[in-house]
C-alpha cells in the first residue's frame, strides 16, 4: 500500500478491477415483498416510491454549547443524535418504511407501500413526518447536561428512483439514486423554518395545488391532519415515547468516552466503536461529492442500458475515491452519503496532531481525489459508459472530530461529528464540479506555501495531484518541511516531524481496511 502519494498507473489498475466487477448488471422493476437489504453490486431496482428527508436543524446548538470545542460539547452532540436516532428507528419499523440512511442529523427513508397507490404513499409519508416531529419534540432531556428537543424540517417528493448497493464487504445498505431522493433532500435543506415541505409533484399526488416556492410553503395544519386521517397509522407519538423511555431505562446509553487514534486513520476499525469506546482527534474532514450525478441518473434511468451505466459509473467512481482516501493517503472513509464520500485524515500521534503536516497531506489527498476522478471518467468513457456532465466538488476543514457508532444495538450507524465536519460539508456545497475549497481552520493549519495554493478566497479550480504537489514543492522550499516531504511522497520524518515515533505514522497493514462485520453502514 502506498503512503502519502498517488500514481496514475495504480489508479488505473484499481479502476480496471472495479469495471470487471460490474461488467454484467441486472436491472429489475421493484415488486411486492422484494428485499432491498444487502443488494449485490451488480443488481439494481427501479422503485416507484415516496422519499422522506428529515433534517434536525439545531445540531449546531449542541456543537456550539461550549465556547471551546472540547469533549463536553461532543458528548452532548452525540447523545443528542443517539436519543433521536433510537426514537426514529422505532417509528420507521412501525410504519413499514425503508430506512435508507441516518447521516448525523439527516434521515432518508422511502415509502414503497402500498405498491399501487401513490396518494396513500404520500399521505403515509406526511403522517410519519408529523409523527417524527411530535416524537422528537419530546425526546429532550433535563439534567446535568441538558439535551434540547429536536427542531425538525422535512422534505418529501415522489417518483421513480434506482435502488443500488451502497458500500462494500459487509457495510452495504440500499442507496436510492434519482430526482425524488434529491428533491426531497433539497426541500429538507431549503431553509431554517421547521415544518413539512412537499414538492409540487408530491402535492399534486394528494390533490393539493402547486406552489411557486416549495421551500417556503410548509403544509398547513389542516392538510397535515387530512393526511393523517388518510394514512391511519397504527401508532401514536404517545406510544412511541413510552416505548422509547422504557428502552432507555432498560438499555441506557453509555457515557461517551473518547481516546485518541494514532494515525493513519485507515487502521481504525469502525465496527468496534461504541459510545464507551469512541475516538476523538484533531483531524481534517473531507467531503467529495460527484457533481451532476442526479441529473446524470435522470437522463439514463428510463432504459435498462442507461440504468446499467449508472450503476457502473457509481461503483467505479466511489470505489476509486474510497481507495485514494484510504489506501493512498491513510485516511478513513466514514460514510458514503449517496454519491458523496466523507472521510477523515490526520498526521501525528494519538495525543498530538501535526497540524501543518495534516493540512499538507489533506491538500495532496484532495488533489489525488480529483486526479483519480478524471482518470476514472476517461476509463469509463473508453469502456463505452457515458459520463458527460459529471464533476467533483471537494470541501475540507480541520478541527476536533469525534468518531463513534450510534443507534440501536444490532443496527448501529457510523458517525463523525464536529464543527469542522459541518463546515467541510458547507465548503463542498459551495463548490462547482471543478472546485476544491479549504475551510478557515484548515487554512490556519496550513503552511504559507499551502495557503498560497488557494489564495485569500480559499478556493481553487482544477486542483489535481500534480498541481498540488508541484506547488507545495516549489513554494515551500524554505517554509514547510512537512509540505515538501508530502509533495514528494516521503512518508516518514517529513510528514510527521512532530510525531513520536514519526517513521511509523504512515505505514499501513497488509489487509483491507474496510469493515468486515455484517452489521455496518457505508
* 28 in any annotated domain: no
Assess whether 216 and 317 both reside in one domain. no
The proportion of the chain whose per-residue pLDDT surpasses 70, expressed as a percent, equals: 88
Per residue in 387-446, pLDDT (tens digit) is: 999 999 999 999 999 999 998 777 788 999 999 999 999 999 999 999 999 999 999 999
At residue 522, the pLDDT reads 29
* 340 in any annotated domain: yes
Q: How far apart are CA 340 and CA 352, in angstroms?
A: 29
Hey, is 52 helix, strand or coil?
strand
Q: How far apart are CA 156 and CA 478, in angstroms?
A: 55
Assess whether 214 and 340 both reside in one domain. no
Assess whether 170 and 205 both reside in one domain. yes
CB atoms within 10 A of CB 206: 21
Q: 188 is written with which cell numbers?
A: 429538507
Per residue in 60-113, pLDDT (tens digit) is: 888 998 889 999 999 999 999 998 888 998 899 899 999 888 888 899 999 999
At residue 497, the pLDDT reads 33
* 510 in any annotated domain: no
At residue 411, the pLDDT reads 77
Per residue in 343-368, pLDDT (tens digit) is: 999 999 999 999 999 999 999 999 99
Assess whether 245 and 261 both reside in one domain. no
At residue 521, the pLDDT reads 27
Q: Which candidate, 112, 138, 130, places its Cα nearest to that of 49?
A: 112
Q: What is the dihedral of CA 140, 142, 144, 149, to 10 degrees?
A: 20
The domain boundary, picked from 250, 273, 293, lies at: 250
User: Measured in whole angstroms, how far is the alpha carbon of residue 287 from the centre of its chain?
Assistant: 8
At residue 171, the pLDDT reads 53
At residue 37, the pLDDT reads 74
User: Measured in whole angstroms, how far is the alpha carbon of residue 15 from the centre of its chain?
Assistant: 22
Assess whether 195 and 268 both reside in one domain. no
Q: Which candidate, 332, 314, 489, places its Cα nearest to that of 414?
A: 332
* 336 in any annotated domain: yes
* 301 in any annotated domain: yes
* 285 in any annotated domain: yes
Give the count of domains, the chain. 2
At residue 173, the pLDDT reads 66
> E-strand spans in 301-425?
332-337, 340-345, 391-406, 413-417
Q: 132 is written with which cell numbers?
A: 417524527
Assess whether 236 and 285 both reside in one domain. no
Is residue 197 a contact partner of residue 217, using CB atoms and an 8 Å limit?
yes
Q: Which candidate, 240, 238, 237, 193, places its Cα nearest to that of 219?
A: 193
At residue 514, the pLDDT reads 35
At residue 103, the pLDDT reads 84
Q: Select the more confidently predicted residue: 487 or 136.
A: 136
At residue 91, the pLDDT reads 95
Q: Give 291's strand partners.
A: 391
At residue 492, the pLDDT reads 34
Which single residue is written with the C-alpha cell 498517488?
6
Residue 35: pLDDT band with limits 50, 70, 90: confident
Assess whether 313 and 456 both reside in one domain. yes
Lowest mean pLDDT among 108-112, 252-256, 315-319: 252-256
Assess whether 240 and 302 both reside in one domain. no
pLDDT, the chain, mean? 88
Q: 259 is written with which cell numbers?
A: 481516546
Q: Which candidate, 49, 38, 19, 111, places its Cα nearest to that of 311?
A: 19
Q: Select the more confidently predicted residue: 483 or 302.
A: 302
Assess whether 15 and 149 both reside in one domain. no
Per residue in 469-519, pLDDT (tens digit) is: 999 987 553 334 444 444 433 333 333 333 333 333 333 333 333 333 333
Q: How far apart are CA 186 and CA 197, in angstroms?
A: 10
Residue 168: pLDDT band with limits 50, 70, 90: low
Per residue in 412-421, pLDDT (tens digit) is: 889 999 999 9
Assess whether 213 and 279 both reside in one domain. no
At residue 142, the pLDDT reads 64
Which single residue is written with the C-alpha cell 502519494?
5
CATH of the domain at 124: 3.30.70.1230
Per residue in 213-247, pLDDT (tens digit) is: 999 999 999 999 999 999 999 999 999 999 999 98
Residue 322: left (phi > 0), alpha (psi -120 to 50), or beta?
Answer: alpha
At residue 146, the pLDDT reads 77
At residue 447, the pLDDT reads 95
The domain boundary, picked from 208, 228, 250, lies at: 250
Assess whether 192 and 278 both reside in one domain. no
Parallel/antiparallel/unpaired status of strands 278-291 and 391-406: antiparallel
Q: Select the more confidently predicted residue: 473 or 170.
A: 473
Residue 32: pLDDT band with limits 50, 70, 90: confident
* 364 in any annotated domain: yes
Assess whether 165 and 185 both reside in one domain. yes
User: C-alpha angle 364/370/374, rounded to 5°?
Assistant: 140
Structural domain including 181 reads 35-250
The domain boundary, picked from 206, 231, 250, lies at: 250
* 1 in any annotated domain: no
Hey, is 201 helix, strand or coil?
helix
At residue 180, the pLDDT reads 96
Q: Select the more confidently predicted residue: 262 or 100.
A: 262
Amino acid at each position: 500500500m502506498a503512503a502519502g502519494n498517488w500514481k496514475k498507473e495504480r489508479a488505473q489498475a484499481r479502476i480496471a478491477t472495479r469495471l470487471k466487477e460490474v461488467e454484467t448488471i441486472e436491472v429489475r422493476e421493484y415488486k411486492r415483498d422484494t428485499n432491498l437489504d444487502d443488494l449485490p453490486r451488480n443488481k439494481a431496482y427501479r422503485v416507484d416510491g415516496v422519499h422522506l428527508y428529515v433534517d434536525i436543524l439545531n445540531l449546531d446548538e449542541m456543537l456550539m454549547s461550549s465556547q471551546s470545542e472540547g469533549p463536553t460539547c461532543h458528548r452532548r452532540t452525540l447523545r443528542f443524535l443517539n436519543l433521536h436516532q433510537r426514537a426514529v428507528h422505532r417509528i420507521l419499523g412501525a410504519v413499514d418504511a425503508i430506512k435508507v440512511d441516518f447521516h448525523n442529523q439527516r434521515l432518508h427513508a422511502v415509502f414503497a407501500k402500498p405498491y399501487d397507490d401513490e396518494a396513500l404513499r404520500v399521505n403515509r409519508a406526511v403522517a410519519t413526518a408529523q409523527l417524527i416531529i411530535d416524537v422528537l419534540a419530546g425526546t429532550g432531556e433535563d439534567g446535568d447536561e441538558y439535551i434540547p428537543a429536536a427542531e425538525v424540517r422535512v422534505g418529501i417528493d415522489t417518483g421513480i428512483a434506482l435502488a443500488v448497493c451502497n458500500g462494500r464487504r459487509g457495510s452495504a445498505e440500499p442507496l436510492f439514486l434519482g430526482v425524488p431522493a434529491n428533491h426531497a433532500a433539497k426541500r429538507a435543506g431549503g431553509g431554517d423554518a421547521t415544518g413539512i415541505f412537499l414538492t409540487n409533484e408530491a402535492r399534486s399526488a394528494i390533490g393539493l395545488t402547486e406552489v411557486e416556492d416549495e421551500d417556503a410553503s410548509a403544509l398547513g395544519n389542516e392538510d397535515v391532519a387530512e393526511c393523517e386521517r388518510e394514512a391511519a397509522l397504527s401508532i401514536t407519538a404517545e406510544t412511541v415515547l413510552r416505548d422509547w423511555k422504557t428502552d432507555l431505562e432498560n438499555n441506557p446509553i453509555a457515557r461517551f468516552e473518547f481516546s485518541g487514534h494514532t494515525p493513519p486513520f485507515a487502521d481504525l476499525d469502525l465496527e468496534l466503536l461504541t459510545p464507551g469506546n469512541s475516538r476523538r482527534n484533531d483531524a481534517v474532514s473531507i467531503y467529495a461529492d460527484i457533481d451532476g450525478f442526479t441529473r446524470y441518473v435522470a437522463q439514463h434511468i428510463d432504459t435498462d442500458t442507461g440504468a446499467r451505466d449508472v450503476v457502473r459509473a457509481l461503483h467505479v467512481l466511489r470505489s476509486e475515491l474510497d481507495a485514494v482516501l484510504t489506501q493512498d493517503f491513510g485516511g478513513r472513509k466514514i460514510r458514503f452519503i449517496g454519491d458523496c464520500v466523507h472521510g477523515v485524515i490526520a498526521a501525528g500521534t494519538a495525543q498530538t496532531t501535526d497540524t501543518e503536516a495534516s493540512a499538507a497531506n489533506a491538500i495532496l489527498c484532495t488533489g489525488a481525489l480529483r486526479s483519480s476522478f478524471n482518470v476514472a471518467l476517461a476509463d469509463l468513457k473508453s469502456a463505452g459508459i457515458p459520463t458527460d456532465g459529471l464533476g467533483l466538488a471537494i470541501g475540507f476543514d480541520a478541527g476536533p472530530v469525534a468518531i463513534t457508532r450510534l443507534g440501536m444495538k444490532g443496527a448501529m450507524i457510523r458517525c463523525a461529528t464536529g464543527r469542522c465536519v459541518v463546515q467541510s460539508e458547507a465548503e463542498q456545497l459551495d463548490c462547482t464540479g471543478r472546485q476544491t475549497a479549504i475551510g478557515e481552520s484548515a487554512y490556519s493549519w496550513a503552511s504559507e506555501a499551502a495557503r498560497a495554493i488557494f489564495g485569500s478566497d480559499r478556493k481553487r479550480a482544477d486542483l489535481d495531484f500534480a498541481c498540488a504537489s508541484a506547488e507545495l514543492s516549489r513554494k515551500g522550499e524554505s517554509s514547510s518541511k512537512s509540505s515538501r516531504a508530502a509533495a514528494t511522497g516521503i512518508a516518514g520524518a517529513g510528514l510527521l516531524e512532530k510525531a513520536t515515533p514519526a517513521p511509523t505514522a504512515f505505514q499501513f497493514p497488509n489487509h483491507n481496511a474496510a469493515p468486515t462485520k455484517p452489521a455496518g453502514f457505508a
